[in-house]
Structure 1
Amino acid sequence: MNVLQRGVRSVLRKPIKSIILLFIVIVMSGLFLGAMASRSASIYTQDATRQAIGATFRIEGNEENRRKRLDQAMDVLGDREGSYGGVTHKWLENGADMVVTDNSFETVKEDDVKKIAQVEGIEEYNLITIATVVNPVNFSRIEDSDMDQSTDVGGVNLRGNRIMEMDMDVSAGKISLIEGRMIEKDDRDVCVISKELAELNHLKTGNLLKFNDYHDKEHSTIYSAEIIGIYETKQERKSIMYGDSYRPENTIFTDMSFPEKPSGNEGNPFYQYAIFKVQNAGKYDQVKKSVQKANIDWSRYDLIDNNGNIKNMTENFGQMDQMSMGLLLIVSVSGLVILVLVFLFWIKNRTQEIGIMMSLGKCKFEIWVQFLWEAVMISIIGMLLSFAISPIIAETSASYLAKETQTLRLEQQEQENTGTYIDGYIAPDLKIQDVEVHITKEMVLMDIGMISGILIIAVLVAGITIMKKRPKQILSEMS
């Protein structure tokens, strides 16, 4: 009887031990696949406060990705002064350091927006700049007489749009025109002002407003924009930041390329949002799937639909990637320890069998190969069974990791008190709606490799108890 035949009979003769090993392999294989699938999961969250309006999509910068890119730049710069990838590090006279990012680091990339705009089903797109504070040269702004203006720069904020009709406040019905027209994609050096600014300064369409950089009000270049429209507020619009520079009445809509000029950033725009209009609302979900396939770096953005749903990649969902790696490490180490103990117990209870085989002239290596063959047979069955249940395990583990990550993320934000950022961005209140996992062929092959490796090591370590003993010693233990 050869090694293979003896191994098969041994497995059938000891069903309880075989079932225990089978169960361990199923659990290990399922958890391996679950952890690997979690690393590439898509987490669908919802933030009703950021939902797109109508049959549109919106993309904006992903905060987690921004932090990663900032950390990468600081790793390169270290303690020295300098710039890298749009990040500048400076040392101040008092010994403190300062980190500044430029528009190229923060902006939604126009090339990415154009790629999405080419997706079939997208009718039109809009780019919206960040609220850019500039100095009003030939007119006065709206101010609260009871407010301390010493900490305010005395400016107004410009909001550039490619197509003003697609601006979020316009689409939501918060503002409407009372005179003139809205900004269109071919307009240059034009603006639309609030009714309050027009009344305060006796302005009308056709007048020119002048602006320059508030950092150097006396010497910076002055730029002019023609008033082509006047709007009034229909619904409450909140200031995105403290100070009269950001109050809604001081918001001036311009063409998308104008704000960068008086702010001293000509040729280096900061687009905060991109909005895409779907041609046929009935094909909204179909177009959404096509948009998600666009060849851009999606880790940089949040894609938000008209329900506020956001598809997050694992690498951008807090510490989920690290937690998945931690789960893989825990399963590997604990699985190895458990299997070594199982095989040690297995071998200890087979001393008589080992002694008989050795007395029949079987070498120790052949006996070790038999034990390995028994483990491989059981593991093959275990892995096949785990492949059937692994999607359930993967989805459960990914959902658990996503919720735990979100909890850690909220605790971290509370500790850091980073609810509101300098651009008025408010950290979203994301609710997890769904977690989508896919088990790929590569994951299955990695799972097989990892289980096989752990089994070989476990049998090898446990087999040392045989290899180091002489045949006479083993036979004496039988008696």
Structure 2
Amino acid sequence: MNSFQRAVLYNIRKIRKNLIFFCILLFMTITVLIGLSIYLATNHEIETLRETIGGSFKIEAVYNKEDPSVWEIRQEDGTMQYTGPQVDDELIEKVTKIEGIKFYNAVFTWELYTDDLELFHGLFTYVNQIEEEKERGAEMLEKTTSFIGNTNTENSSYFRNGSFDLVEGTHIREGDLYKVLISKNLAEYNNLKIGDAFTVSLRESTGSKEDNPYKLKCPPFDMEIAGIFEVKSGIAESEMVPETSISDNLIFTTIDFSKKVLFYLNEKKCPYDNCTFFVKDPKELITVIDEVKLKNIVKMNYFTIQEDDSMYKESVAPLKVMKTLLAIFVGIIMGACSLLLFIILNIRVKGRTRETGIMLSLGISFKSITYQYIFECIIIALFAFLLSFAVSKGIASQIGNYVLEKVTPKQEDTLKKITKEDAIHNQAQELTEDMLNVKASVKTPDYLLIKVGVGEFLIVILVEIIIICLSVSWEILKLFRKNPKEILLYY
């Protein structure tokens, strides 16, 4: 009879005696397997966020009014025009050649008159109601809003940070000339849906020298709705906020459309409001920025560079906490159960010292006896492994996402309403800055895709089999130095 056969027979006779060992091994395997699976899923999500959100830096021109060399007076209307360096296609091309840049999003915002679109009422509607003598064409400000041109609206800060969430349709990019994204509330307010169109126009504004402020500067534009977004964080409708700043009134377009508007304004090139450059690895953000400065692509007296990896850091913070907790928990469980297994298996082997001596006296080798004792444990372990795999697959996802929910701060939709009290107690400058800095949501996932894979299963099995082999061998080696007669007499 070989070692394996003797191991099977022993386990059949000693089923109750093996129960404690089975339960400990089952608990250890389930716990470690679930912990490892959740850890790997968490790590994968962190890497995904690194790629999708990553780090970025924004370049913006500084319009220094104290520097007369970059300003000139326009002959047609006597206004001051900036002539210094700006964020344009030439600058963008130079920056994108820097190693480590993944993509960019240029932004240009303009205000247009919404011919057949009703906006949510704001400051100008309120002022026109109470003003006794209104400026000529004042009503047109009630129907004027901001059109935000983007290289790709998906990379707009509003959508990346979770302030706005696209709920219908698709994002727009270069090539989608007359397509727009509008808010869900604005669409419902005007009974519009995906594929519908509305007209906007570029007109003379209030305060112009034209007799007719409504005079068209170019043919009207028919804009098609390509997507509808929901405002999660932003500025609510209020009589203290201009219509152009109410979040539900904002309309997103492409850079192509912004350039079209500039063409009709006789602008030779497109000076963007700013451009955000995204790096491949957030860890390299500062290195990339330093290289931009070192190559003098951006002259710091004319531009500002603002690095931003805060969204990435805030988004992964709960996941990193979760990783740390899992590593500590799995480590404690692994260590405690390994120690317990070591003690139990040592006691188990020591309690069979006389049996070991008898087998040695019958000519069975130490090697064969060691194999038998290890096989006995592995046979029990196999049942524990199979059961633990089935249990882990069933509950790993629920446990992992429960932990994620507990470590993730609650994100609430925040529509900020500017009141009269805000305007009274704050200076206009401070109020404007406050309006533009509504705290955005982070992109920590609500759900983790957790899979108990065969790879993780085999890793756990291998570790536990090694523990079993070492634990059994440790006590057997103590007996190795004695002959069968000494063992029988001593014990």
Alignment TM-score, normalising by the size of structure 1: 0.49
- Rg (Cα) greater in structure: 2
